[in-house]
Amino acid sequence: MVDPLSLAAITAAVTAAAGALGSEAGTRSWAALTRLGRRALGRAAADPDPQPVPAVRPDDPEVQQLAAVIYARALQDAAFAADLRTWMRESEEARGAAGGVTVHNVVQGNARVRNLIQANEVTWHSTR
């Protein structure tokens, strides 16, 4: 089992949250993550005028930086680490309940399959 507070696990969770921003659950998860990020940076004061969720892509460098900042804080602050574990669990559950995808391919009978690709989303760019 991967330590839920490893940098790799946190980066994966932050990246998944950024990738889920198109859904309501993803937006809520990102907002909660943003609050954790503010706490990690010492800016936990309530924002009287919350900003809209920015357009973020999972591969943006800011996503990696946010994960690193949160990881560093979790190593230093047990209460923050507990809140982070809660966010990671709830975020994963929300993504699963709100459209997390499990792909099942069944090949049976006399099917002749040369290559089988199992995927959640496939982006295809053709030059034709």
Q: Give the pLDDT confidence of 7-64 residue by residue, as tens digits.
A: 888 888 888 777 777 777 777 888 888 888 888 888 766 554 455 556 666 677 888 8
Q: Strand, helix or coil at 108?
A: coil
Q: What is the pLDDT of residue 6?
A: 81
Question: Among 127, 128, 103, which Cα is nearest to 117's?
Answer: 103
Q: What amino acid is encoded at 53 in this protein?
A: V
Buried b (16+ CB within 10 A) or exposed e, 87-126: bbeebbebbeeeeeeeeeeeeeeeeeeeeeeeeeeeeeee
Record the tokens describing residue 17, joined without a space: 């949250």
Summarised one tens digit per residue, pLDDT across range 54-84 is: 666 667 788 888 888 889 999 999 999 999 9
Q: What is the pLDDT of residue 55?
A: 61
pTM of the model: 0.62
